[in-house]
Structure 1
């Protein structure tokens, strides 16, 4: 088997709980979702937003609340599904250093100095007893 710390190695795997209560709740929330979407679609086709059927401007607010209920309900469905039916998997990923992303060899990662050893040579030329 591969080393536990290699790229892509599964570090922890816990299977999903798959509870019956969560499944029933998801089904009930899905039925409620269909009702909300149906009411929103009917409200759009009946002209609730422009006030033709209600005679007021409150239909626009009602359609906005229905659309908000659709997305909030969908968020709860996805939250329950992710928590109860997807396994908990941790995969090992190692962060690479910046010079590895630039395809630079390890011995060249510091780069080269402009002028190289010219400053040291100049100091030795001026003062011959200079110690490093």
Structure 2
């Protein structure tokens, strides 16, 4: 389908989501793990695991690892949700031409040839005080 067949803003392709049961179960299990990690992290903050004490900073590293695991787990949840439960939609958008990005008028797209303005340049070289 060429760009002239559809108007801007029209839906060009729409594929419904798969909505697999396996992905739903995986998202539920990952959410349970996420809640557990958030609980461990919150308990560690309240208990003061991150405060420098006799453990040599182990509690702080443990809290950092728990937080990293939380974000990685959340990334997998969002990845599964996006892949399995959101539709694949392509919308037709206007593609700008290169000369529009350079703020050039449409009649100046091709530039100037070698002889454009040669007569005016020659006149200025002969009589430099000539008005434009």
TM range (shorter): 0.7 to 0.9
Provide the secondary structure at the position in 1 that maps to 2:72.
Answer: helix
Aligned length: 119
**What corresponds to 2:85 in structure 1?**
85
Q: Where does the alignment leave 5 or more consecutive residues of structure 2 unmatched?
A: 124-132
Shift of 1:65: 0.8
Q: Shift of the alpha carbon at 1:39?
A: 0.8
Aligned residue for 2:117?
Answer: 116
Counterpart for residue 127 of structure 2:
none
Question: What's the TM-score, normalizing by structure 1?
Answer: 0.73
Residues 12 and 91 in structure 1, CA contact (< 8 A), matched pair in contact too: yes
Q: Secondary structure at the match of 1:90?
A: strand
RMSD: 3.0
2:77 and 2:47 map into 1 onto residues whose CA distance is 28
Taking structure 2 as the reference length, what is the TM-score of the superposition? 0.73
> 1:61/1:120 Cα in 2 relative to 1: closer, same or farther (>3 Å)?
closer
For residues 75 and 30 of structure 1, what CA distance do their matches in structure 2 show?
Answer: 11
Q: Give unmatched runs, 5+ long, in structure 1.
A: 123-132
Counterpart-to-counterpart distance in 2, 1:121 and 1:64? 74
1:58 has 2:58 as partner: yes
- Residue 30 of structure 2 corresponds to 29
CA separation in 2, counterparts of 1:64 and 1:39? 11
Contact 1:39–1:66, Cα closer than 8 Å, also in 2:
yes
- 1:103 CA drift (Å): 5.8
User: CA-to-partner distance for each residue in 1:23-59, whole Å, 9 max, x for gaps?
Assistant: 121111111111101111111111101245xx40211
Q: Does 1:97 align with 2:97?
A: yes
Which segments of structure 1 move beyond 6 Å, counting only runs of 4 or more? 119-122
